[in-house]
Amino acid sequence: MSLSIIVSVVLGITMGLLMPEYIFNYTDIIIDFGLCLLLFFVGIDIGRNKGVFNDIKKIGLKVLLIPIMIIIGSISGSVIAGFFVGLPVNESSAVGAGFGWYSLSAMLLSEYSTELSALAFISNVVREILAIIFIPIIAKYIGDVESVAPAGATAMDTSLPIISKATNPEISIIAFITGVVLSSLVPILVPMLINL
C-alpha cells in the first residue's frame, strides 16, 4: 500500500512538471472529482455489508470517545512539542487543533500571525502525509480503531479510502463519524485556543 502511494506521488510530480500551465487552472475541480469518486467507492464497500449499521447502533454514543481521545491526544502532543520549539501554549494548542485540516487551520491562524499560519499549514500537511503512510501499518500491527487517530479530520475524506482498505466497513463508518466531528470542531477550537 505505501509503495503504491509513493509511486502515485512521484508520478504526480512528474506529470506536474510535464503538464501545460493551463491545466493547473482546473486542478481544484480535478481533485474534487477524484476525491468524490474515491468516497463513492468507499460508500459502495460500506453499503455491501448490511450488518455494519446495526453494529454501529450497538456501539451507540461510545463512538464519540474516539474523536474525544484524538482531540486530547492532538492538542496535548502539540503543547508538548510547543515547549521544545518555544511556542506559547495557546499557539501550539491552536496548531494542534487543526487535526490535519491544513487549509482551514492555516487560514484561521493567518489573522493572528503569518508565521503561525505557515506552521499550522506545514504541521497539518505533514500529519496527513504521515497518516497516509502509517494507517495501514497501524491497522495491521496495532489495531483497526487505532488506525483512525492519525487521520484526524481527514478521516472523513482523503484518508477514508486508506482506512477502508486497511480495516473493515465498520471502522470506515467510525472513521467517517470521527472525521465529521473533528472537522466540525476545527473552526471552533482553533480560534478559541489562540485567544486563550
Q: State residue 38's pLDDT score.
A: 66
Domain positions in the chain: 2-194
Cell of 117: 499560519
The confidence band for 46, taking pLDDT boundaries of 50, 70 and 90, is low
| Lowest mean pLDDT, pick from 42-51, 74-83, 112-121, 146-155 | 42-51
The confidence band for 194, taking pLDDT boundaries of 50, 70 and 90, is very high
Mean pLDDT on 119-127 = 92
Q: Is pLDDT of 21 > 70? A: yes
- What is the CA 116 to chain-centroid distance, rounded? 19
Q: Is pLDDT of 30 > 60? A: yes
Q: State residue 41's pLDDT score.
A: 72
What is the rounded radius of gyration, in angstroms, for the C-alpha atoms of the chain?
A: 18
Distance of alpha carbon 180 from alpha carbon 40, whole angstroms: 17
Average pLDDT taken over every residue of the chain: 86
Phi and psi at residue 125, in whole multiples of 5°? -65, -45
Mean pLDDT on 29-49 = 71
Q: Is pLDDT of 61 > 70? A: yes
Amino acid at 190: V
| Cβ atoms of 157 and 35 closer than 8 Å | yes
Q: Is pLDDT of 1 > 60? A: no
**Which one-letter DSSP state was computed for residue 62?**
G
The confidence band for 102, taking pLDDT boundaries of 50, 70 and 90, is confident
| Cβ atoms of 46 and 38 closer than 8 Å | no
- What is the CA 111 to chain-centroid distance, rounded? 23
Comparing 52 with 10, the larger pLDDT belongs to: 10
Number of H helices, E strands in the chain: 9, 0
> Strand, helix or coil at 23?
helix
Residue 192 class from Cβ within 10 Å (0-12 exposed, 13-18 middle, 19+ buried)? middle
Distance of alpha carbon 140 from alpha carbon 135, whole angstroms: 9
The confidence band for 98, taking pLDDT boundaries of 50, 70 and 90, is very high
Q: State residue 52's pLDDT score.
A: 63
Q: Is pLDDT of 44 > 90? A: no
